[in-house]
Structure 1
Amino acid sequence: MRHWLLPEYIEDVLPAEARRMELLRRQLLDLFHTHGYRYVIPPMLEYVESLTTGVGHDLDLLTFKVVDQISGRLMGVRSDITPQAARIDAHLLNQQGVTRLCYAGSVLRAQPSGTAQTREPLQIGAELFGHAGIESDLEVQQLLVHALQAAGIAKPHLDFSHVAIFRALVESASIAPQLESELFQALQAKDASTLSELTKSLQASIRAALMALPTLYGDARVLDTAAEQLPSIPQIQNALGELKQVAQQFLAPDVEVSFDLAELRGYHYHSGMVFAAYAEGYSSALAQGGRYDEVGQVFGRSRPATGFSMDMRALVNALPPASGNKGILAPLTEDVELRSKIKSLRAQGEIVVVELPGHEQHRAELDCDRVLVKNDKGWEILPAA
């Protein structure tokens, strides 16, 4: 047995990638801080009810579960930090006004996901609680764009939908839960033939609307088409109105926006507008988010909520190769002037590696492209040979 082998889709993060991820984590948390989002660090383990109740069947299936040896109760390893942030807002902070929280940490999932195809994403995100209006949705969407651009994604692509549209059709037709689930699956697969078969018994207007949803994707013009083809149900008209406000928000060349009204990501978890961010050359989403007003209810206080999260490993993989300075190699001596020089360079953010004796033949492994050399001018930085 090879004791150094890791489970499938679980891997070490090696120095170069780890450094980029850590620098990105600090950069994004500082960005969130300047927008008023306060940092929280929830635990890796919680009782399973706190992690999975009210967030849908999919998240329950992704959660690793263990028995607590102290209490005997079932515990879960978090697969998403968002419900934990909702618990902190509802049960611990208990503020009456708007609460803005951010977080960064590892999550563990039973199945691999995302661009990085890992079961241990490093999740970072921001959540806004206590405001039900479109203004808070627009705030977190703008914050996501700022975060992606700060990370180096020059022209992110945002794809929007609204789960209230499908939900309103289901409620207006009193569709049974089993059929609702089958319709949901057909819409996600954009399977027109299955959708046609499933809607045969529904009234004509609802059937036509459900058949139209997979065709309603594209730029902002699709929202006008949707207004013509979908029933005049108040929830649907409100949803389309919110999506039109999003289209107005991103009238800029540095952000591409599209709409896909059949996309129902997180349908059993989200309650309103949902969105995902993409970058050129990557088919999987770099970030996902949306409104989830019902989650806080399971913690004793229902609060409107919206936010987003992203996997920093996937985000780093989407960025161009790093081009920062390498290290500076310094000899091991008792020279006071050299020690002062090294201290000054490190204070400026330079990497200075002091070479230990007997390892001169391994200098290439130290990743230094410069060296400190003493001459008549004192200690000077020169290119490495």
Structure 2
Amino acid sequence: MNWLLPDYLADALPLEAAQIERLRRLTLDLYARHGFELVMPPLVEYLDSLLTGSGQDLMLSTCKLVDQLSGRTLGVRADMTPQVARIDAHLLNREGVVRLCYCDSILHALPADQAASREPIQLGAEIYGHRGVEADIEVIRLMAATLSTVGAPADRIDLSHVGVFRALTQAAGLTPESEARLFKLLQQKDATNLAAACADIAEPWRSAFLRLPGLYGDATTLARARRELPALPALAAALESLQRLADAMPELPLSFDLADLRGYHYHTGVVFAAFRHGFAGAVARGGRYDGGGTAFGRDRPATGFSLDLRELARLAPQLAPRAAIAAPFAEQAGSPLAGTIAKLRAAGEIVVEHLPGAAEDSRCDRRLVRNAVAGASGETDAQWIIEVINRG
């Protein structure tokens, strides 16, 4: 059956494709108005470039093939963010703040979950060259504006900071193996096994790790964290960054979860994710990843977000099929019929020319017909008018 596609891959049929394209235009126009410039990295690159630096965590997600020109291994991108970091650091090589956005297909070797596509359309925006929390505020607001613009506003935006967990593991002197185990248990909110894993950790670090899963909720969570967690400079700085975000964006549905460590090995500061009722996972996610361009020659601070436009297209209000006008086939380019069709299309109408011998397009609810009227000289002048199609 040569019409079957591989698992977790699917065609976008006309209505879905139209929805995706509409949202792509809406969002990229939004980003352009905010000063973000569009870039288009290639679908494949040399594998060592795709997995350099911040891309190392993508190894298992990346599909690999051999370049028949060079004999080197290529990778099909599984995430565009490392590519955009390369463009900023190596190709643009600008001083100061750079804002870039992107929208294109990526490919995953395995689906992220049972409902996910292996070919997401990744839409995102990144700010390079600014270490301050102001850049994080800008990208979080832009993420929220993205969802509102397409008619699927976030019901909750979770914020966390990898500096909290990182400060505790360093102060406790954990081995990489112990750190990885605690990280996994915190992500799973597995309180029972977390307590067992922390049994040999000295106080006050043991109690601090055990408190992390309970430190979630509104902005008062940050005050509780300051009271309940050890007074470490790096930890205090992380909480201060989160407090600034809370103070700056009271208009957004922010919540805080200090055990949420999505992208822990990739991000260096604040991390965030947007959620919407009725959708199991995060609709969009992002965070700070300073140093993403180091492997490409420049140590650049960076922060940004991305989402799957395919998923967003399903969450946004659905398009109704647009009605069309059926018209006879205009064989002569300069004929009155051809001119009438051109004027209707210029006005935004869909006009489908009826090919001889073919059935009329079912989307058409109107028809262009010839209307013979008497001119002032008494001669017959052929004109074209629109009439409603009655299919009853």
TM-score bracket, shorter-length normalisation: over 0.9
Counterpart of 1:371, as a letter, is: R
Rg larger in structure: 2
Counterpart of 2:177, as a letter, is: Q
SS of the residue corresponding to residue 325 of structure 1 reads coil
SS of the residue corresponding to residue 285 of structure 1 reads coil
Relative to structure 1, is the Cα distance of residues 383 and 209 closer, same or farther in structure 2, using a 3 angstrom cutoff? Answer: farther
1:306-349 deviation digits (Å, cap 9, x = unpaired): 00111110000112221363222222245833322221222232
Within 5 Å, give how 1:186-201 maps onto structure 2: 186-201=185-200
The alpha-carbon deviation at position 141 of structure 1 amounts to 0.9
Match of 1:380 among 377, 385, 389: 385
TM-score, normalised on structure 2?
A: 0.92
Within 5 Å, give how 1:340-359 maps onto structure 2: 340-359=339-358
C-alpha separation between the residues in 2 aligned to 1:384 and 1:229?
Answer: 72
1:228-266 deviation digits (Å, cap 9, x = unpaired): 1111112211211221222223322xx422111111111
Matched, 1:318 2:315: yes
Identity of aligned residues (%): 49
The alpha-carbon deviation at position 56 of structure 1 amounts to 6.0
Bigger shift: residues 31-40 or 181-190 = 31-40
Within 5 Å, give how 1:272-351 maps onto structure 2: 272-323=269-320, 325-333=322-330, 336-351=335-350
Matched, 1:6 2:19: no
Relative to structure 1, is the Cα distance of residues 176 and 27 closer, same or farther in structure 2, using a 3 angstrom cutoff? Answer: same
SS of the residue corresponding to residue 201 of structure 2 reads coil
SS of the residue corresponding to residue 260 of structure 2 reads coil
CA contact (8 A) 1:115 1:285 kept: no
SS of the residue corresponding to residue 144 of structure 2 reads helix
Matched, 1:369 2:365: yes
Matched, 1:71 2:70: yes
Within 5 Å, give how 1:42-121 maps onto structure 2: 42-55=41-54, 58-113=57-112, 117-121=116-120
C-alpha separation between the residues in 2 aligned to 1:114 and 1:350?
Answer: 41
C-alpha separation between the residues in 1 aligned to 2:163 and 2:15?
Answer: 43
Match of 1:266?
A: 263
Relative to structure 1, is the Cα distance of residues 342 and 128 closer, same or farther in structure 2, using a 3 angstrom cutoff? Answer: same
Counterpart of 2:316, as a letter, is: L
Relative to structure 1, is the Cα distance of residues 134 and 332 closer, same or farther in structure 2, using a 3 angstrom cutoff? Answer: same
Matched, 1:157 2:156: yes
CA contact (8 A) 1:148 1:156 kept: no
Structure 1 spans left out of the alignment, 5+ residues: none
C-alpha separation between the residues in 2 aligned to 1:256 and 1:350?
Answer: 40
1:264-292 deviation digits (Å, cap 9, x = unpaired): 11111011101111222111111111100
Bigger shift: residues 63-72 or 180-189 = 63-72
CA contact (8 A) 1:66 1:75 kept: yes
CA contact (8 A) 1:115 1:283 kept: no
Match of 1:251?
A: 250
- Aligned residue pair count: 379
CA contact (8 A) 2:152 2:317 kept: no
TM-score, normalised on structure 1?
A: 0.93
1:182-202 deviation digits (Å, cap 9, x = unpaired): 011000000111111111111
Structure 2 spans left out of the alignment, 5+ residues: 374-382
C-alpha separation between the residues in 1 aligned to 2:385 and 2:234?
Answer: 70
The alpha-carbon deviation at position 380 of structure 1 amounts to 3.4
C-alpha separation between the residues in 2 aligned to 1:384 and 1:90?
Answer: 59
Pairwise CA RMSD? 1.9
C-alpha separation between the residues in 1 aligned to 2:54 and 2:389?
Answer: 56
C-alpha separation between the residues in 2 aligned to 1:17 and 1:39?
Answer: 23
C-alpha separation between the residues in 1 aligned to 2:80 and 2:55?
Answer: 14
CA contact (8 A) 2:137 2:245 kept: yes
SS of the residue corresponding to residue 349 of structure 2 reads coil
Relative to structure 1, is the Cα distance of residues 356 and 319 closer, same or farther in structure 2, using a 3 angstrom cutoff? Answer: same
1:66-96 deviation digits (Å, cap 9, x = unpaired): 2222222222110000000001111111112
CA contact (8 A) 1:149 1:156 kept: no
Match of 1:139?
A: 138
The alpha-carbon deviation at position 116 of structure 1 amounts to 5.5
SS of the residue corresponding to residue 125 of structure 2 reads strand
